[in-house]
Amino acid sequence: MNIRSLIVDDEPLARKRIAGFLNDMPDMAVIGECSTGREAIKLIREQLPDLLFLDIQMPEVGGFDVLQEIDQEKMPIIIFTTAHDEHALRAFDVHALDYLLKPFSRQRFAAAVERAREQFGNMNKREPDSRIAALIETLRPEQRHLSRFVIKTSQRVLFVKAASVDWIESAGNYAVLHIGAQTHIIRETMQALEKRLCPGSFQRISRSAIVNLSRIKEIQPMGKGEYIIMLETGKQLPMSRGLRDLERALEHS
């Protein structure tokens, strides 16, 4: 009996790598690939895959967001994939859930699939996996308030405290972190960041900018309801939304 697998990852090369490994396994049938969390939710509900390869870090709707939208009765066996997230890795170990840390080898991939085979063979009926619900509950605080960023480069992985960021600039499906004279690019949208950052510390001031409230030096009116945010670094940012909300946030920051 073939195990019907669904691949969810926003990186085309990652999806291709997983599909390539699965194609060499006669008992594995790839029923689809998803590049977004929203697409994954739809296909999981419609196709009811047996096995799900789920990327944790995706723009807007991440892997954990996908899990919270799926009925526990319809939850497939899951092998998580992630570039690096030590909170998540620690939680996976605690709840005995399998994950692949990118970049993973064919041997490591095969070992994860073999464990999935064993789990699939023991499932006489589709019973909810209580470990998934426990995982979501464990990680929920980290999802609400992002405390640090993981910056991945070709040579290393950096960890940047959110509190050290002066402001964040939109760059399509990416964001640019400004820390003094330094900049770092991460793969995340402004909409997703706005939800994950602590509202008592960060505020969206325009479509293209989120500012660290502790870095604001003054607010300068420019006329016609427009304002300029002056940061302690001397950087000037135009504000196009929510002066009252900003003032209220500054009072309580």
Task: Please give the full DSSP string across 170-217, using - where no structure is assigned.
Answer: EETTEEEEEETTEEEEES--HHHHHHHS-TTTEEEEETTEEEEGGGEE
For the packed helices 106-121 and 12-23, what is the interaxial angle rounded to 10 degrees? 60
CA distance 1 to 104: 27
Tell me what pLDDT residue 85 has.
66
Domain 3-143 has CATH 3.40.1260.10: no
Instruction: Using the CB atoms, write b or e for 30-63: b if 16+ within 10 Å.
Output: bbbbbbbbeebbebbeeeebbbbbbbbbbbbbbb
* pLDDT for res 157: 81
Low-confidence ranges of the chain (pLDDT < 50): 124-125, 141-142
| Confidence at residue 54, expressed as pLDDT on a 0 to 100 scale | 93
Q: Does the reported pTM lie above 0.75?
A: no
Architecture of domain 148-252: Beta Barrel (2.40)
Do the domains 148-252 and 3-143 match in fold?
Answer: no
Residue ranges of domains in the chain: 3-143, 148-252
Close Cβ partners of 140 (under 8 Å, ≥ 6 residues apart):
none
